[in-house]
Amino acid sequence: MSYLVTELDHAASLINIGNPDSLVKAKVIINDVNSSVIGVWIEGIQATTLKNIVVGYTITILVVFGLIIYFYGSRIFWVFWLRTKRDWKAEAI
């Protein structure tokens, strides 16, 4: 993107010079930039779409894990707690 802006700036400086050779060069640069803009625009749309998909999947995964932990977290915690402590023996003092 910054390359296109630099090229347009160069074309504007050639137009300010005003002689016919520089105007022809400026027209060529502007035509090149115009042909490149469509590709950059499509890349921007693809990048934005991919970013939105990744954000959507991330939110979905976080919600699913949150629900799993909410409904099964305490049960899983107690199962592991009892498995690790089953060899303990309680004695009256």
User: For the chain, what is the domain count?
Assistant: 1
pLDDT score for 1: 61
Distance, in Å, from the CA atom of 47 to the CA atom of 52, rounded to the nearest integer, reads 9
Confirm whether 91 is domain-assigned: no
Map residue 9 onto helix, strand or coil: helix
**pLDDT per residue as tens digits for the range 29-72:** 999 989 888 888 999 999 999 999 999 999 999 999 999 999 99
Confirm whether 93 is domain-assigned: no
pLDDT score for 25: 92
Confirm whether 7 is domain-assigned: yes
**pLDDT per residue as tens digits for the range 4-33:** 889 989 899 989 988 888 889 999 999 998
Confirm whether 46 is domain-assigned: yes
Structural domain of 20: 2-85
Q: Which amino acid is at 67?
A: L
Residue 84 has pLDDT above 90, yes or no: no
